Structure 1
Amino acid sequence: MPRYLLRRFVGMIVVIFLVLTIAFVIVRLAPGDPAALMLGPDATPQDVTELRERLGLDRPIFVQYVAFVAGAVQGNLGESLFFNAPVTAVLAARAEPTIFLALFSLLFALVIATPIGIYAAYRRGSTLDQTSITSAMLAASVPSFLTGLIFQRYLATELGWFPVSGYGGPDAGFFERMRHLVLPSIVLGIVNSALILRFTRASMLDILGEDYVRTARAKGMTERRVVLRHALKNAGIPIITVVGLTFALLVSGAVVTERVFNLPGLGNLVVNAVLRRDYPVIQGTLIVVAALYVLVNLATDLLYLAVDKRVKV
């Protein structure tokens, strides 16, 4: 186990190092002078020169790279040009809506997909099985912004069950802010439940055909115990994998939903940063999301050991 964790930790460092390198190169490969692009066409040459000095773009490229990596390792991702504040502080201020949106969406997707996927595999070929597969394909095919707009109109505007958009006022309490996340969480949960449902069904179908499942039935075990204790437990690894990847995708890919529901999260922040040419924020978001992917993959691998003792490190 210690050697396994050490190898994974070294792998994490390599991945983060590559991400830092890519984030550094992206800005330098942008056509024209990055400082001039950030300031826009109305900037004077003096303004451009001052910004280049402020960002350290007047130094040799290798010196810039070393300074960038050293700062990122210490948690310094630069300073936002629009907010005039450290990028880490800007990201931290916008992280709450995105994190809770991803958690609620994943929870909603699991509540929908897991039991339906298990029962669809158990009743293979039945009407419910065919209906679940069709519904999953439909949910995966419809764009999330269209689903969001439909839900906004009927569930929020006409029925008034949920807030239409926003994240509550400046004085809104925690539960009021969470209430604004319910509808977008349902939208994202429906969209992402399709993949979890299909993986659950496929994994359960493979396990239900194994010899030890037939042996358990022959010994007189109840169907509920056979399906939930023997089959589901052994089908857990593919399900855990897709759940981990889904959570990482929800954090990094909720841009459209946040725009539709006007949530002040990381997705909305990145879109605005691109429009404002706030490259430090774009770089910082890329690094944070990549680090999250790496941590989720590590947590997923460790869960394998807890779910299935046959997995060898």
Structure 2
Amino acid sequence: MARYILQRFLGMLAVMFIVVTVVFVIVRIAPGDPAAVMLGPDATPEDVATLRGQLGLDRPLAVQYAVFLGQVVRGDLGRSIFLGIPAITAVAERAEPTFLLTVLSILVACAIALPVSILAACRRGSLFDQVATTMAMLAASIPSFWLGLVLMQIFAVKFGVFPVSGYGGPDASFLTRLQHLVLPALSLGVVSSAIILRFTRASMLDVLGEDYIRTARSKGMSEFRIVMRHALKNALIPIITVVGLTFALLISGAVVTETVFGLPGVGSLVVSAVLRRDYAVIQAALLVVAGLYVLINFAIDMLYLAVDPRVRY
């Protein structure tokens, strides 16, 4: 088991090294001088030269790369020239809405997908199964921002049950902030539930066709116990995988939804950073999101050990 964990950990470090290298290269190969782009067309050559020196862009490329690696190791991802604060601080200040939105969205997706897919697999070919499969295909084809606008029109504008947009004032309570996240979480969760439903149903169907399931039924074991104790337990590997990957995708895929609902999250920060050519913030956001991807995949690998002891071999 220790060897398995070590292999996954080393793989995580290798992936992060590649990501850091790619982020470094993307900024350097972007069209134009980054310093000139960040300062705008009205900047003087002296201003551009000064900013190039501050950013270290006047050094040889190999030296820039070595300095960049050292900064990443220390957690120094640059400073935003527009916000006047470290880029990692800017990302951290916007992390709460994005994190809470992602957690609520994946809870909504699992609450919809898991019971429906398990019941659909147990009633394969029935009307319920066909309706569930059709609804999953429909949900997968609906853009989350469109669904968000529809939910906003119904529950916020027409009935006034939830806030239209925003995240509450600076002194807003946690419950108030959750109220602002209900509609965006529903819009993301409903769309994300489609892929979880389809994978879970397929995994359950594979397991329910095994010989040991038929043996358990022949011994008179209740169907509920067969499904929950034997079938679901052995189908958890692909289910954990798809839930984990969906969670990772939601972290980076909430940009449009945050913009629609006016949430001050990482997505809106990245959009404004791209428009202002704030490369430090863009780099920090890319590295943070990539790091979360890698950590989530590492956590999924560790969950495999708890679900299926055969993985450690």
TM bin, normalised by shorter chain, reads over 0.9
Partner AA of 1:79 in structure 2: R
Instruction: Give 1:8's aligned residue.
Output: 8
Q: Report what 2:86 is aligned to.
A: 86
SS in 1 for 2:94: helix
Letter in 2 for 1:236: L
The one-letter code sitting in structure 2 at the alignment partner of 1:299 is A
| Alignment partners' CA distance in 2, 1:312 and 1:3 | 8
Residue 76 of structure 2 aligns with an amino acid whose one-letter code is N
Counterpart-to-counterpart distance in 2, 1:230 and 1:310 = 16
The one-letter amino acid of 2:133's match is I
**Aligned residues of 2:106 and 2:246 also touching (Cα < 8 A):** yes
Query: Counterpart of 1:268 in 2: which secondary structure?
Result: helix
Which amino acid is 2:206 matched to?
D
Q: Post-superposition shift, 1:8?
A: 1.4
**Structure 1 stretch displaced more, 43-52 or 238-247:** 43-52
Displacement of 1:309 in angstroms is 2.2
* Residue aligned with 2:312, SS: coil
Match of 1:160 in 2: 160
Is 1:142 equivalent to 2:180 in the alignment? Answer: no
- Aligned positions of 1:158-307 closer than 5 A: 158-307=158-307
Instruction: Show the counterpart of 1:21.
Output: 21
Q: Do structure 1's residue 53 and structure 2's residue 84 form an aligned pair?
A: no
Letter in 1 for 2:192: N
What is residue 37 of structure 2 aligned with on the other side?
A: 37
Structure-2 separation of matches of 1:236 and 1:10: 25
The AA in structure 2 aligned to 1:217 is: R
- Cα distance in 2 between the residues matched to 1:153 and 1:11: 46
Distance 2:235 2:299 in 1: 18
Name structure 1 gaps, 5 residues minimum: none
Q: Which amino acid aligns with 2:124?
A: R
* C-alpha distance in structure 2 between counterparts of 1:227 and 1:209, whole Å: 12
State how far apart, in whole Å, the 2-side matches of 1:112 and 1:128 are: 14
Tell me the matched-pair count. 313
CA apart distance, 1:284: 0.8
Q: CA deviation at 1:97?
A: 0.4
Q: Shift of the alpha carbon at 1:50?
A: 1.1
Distance 1:143 1:130 in 2: 22
Structure 1 residue 307: Cα displacement = 1.2
Give the whole-Å Cα distance in 1 for the aligned partners of 2:204 and 2:13.
Answer: 35
Amino acid at match of 1:177: R
Shift in Å, 1:32: 1.4
| Residues 50-83 of structure 1: CA deviation (Å, up to 9, x unaligned) | 1101111111111111011100011111101211
Aligned partner of 2:29: which letter?
A: L
Q: Give, as a single letter, the amino acid of the residue that structure 2 aligns with 1:76.
A: D
SS at match of 1:32: coil
Aligned-partner Cα distance in 2 for 1:166–1:54: 36
Aligned counterpart, 2:126: 126
- Letter matched to residue 267 of structure 1: G
Mark the runs of 5 or more structure 2 residues left unpaired by the alignment: none
Report the AA paired with residue 179 of structure 2: R
Tell me, in whole angstroms, the C-alpha distance in 2 between the residues paired with 1:81 and 1:182. Answer: 34
Over residues 85-107 of structure 1, what are the superposed CA-to-partner deviations in whole Å (9 max), with x where a residue is unaligned? Answer: 11111111000000010000000
TM-score by length of 1: 0.98
Which amino acid in the other structure matches residue 151 of structure 1? L
Deviation of 1:253 after TM superposition, in Å, equals: 0.8
* Separation in structure 2 between the aligned mates of residue 79 and residue 5 of structure 1, nearest angstrom: 35
| Offset, 1:157 | 0.7
Counterpart residue identity of residue 183, structure 2: L
Instruction: State the SS of the aligned residue for 2:185.
Output: helix
1:5 positional shift: 1.6
Counterpart amino acid of residue 131 in structure 2: T
Ranges of 4+ aligned residues in structure 1 off by more than 4 Å: none
Percent same amino acid at aligned positions? 65
Code of the residue aligned with 2:71 in structure 1: it is G
TM-score if structure 2 supplies the norm length? 0.98
Shift of 1:312: 3.0
Task: Look up the equivalent residue of 2:115 and give its one-letter code.
Answer: P
* Structure 1 residue 17, shift from structure 2 partner: 0.8
CA distance in 1, matches of 2:214, 2:199: 22
For residue 167 of structure 1, give the secondary structure of its aligned residue in structure 2: coil
Q: What amino acid sits opposite 2:228 in the alignment?
A: L
Q: Which amino acid aligns with 2:123?
A: R
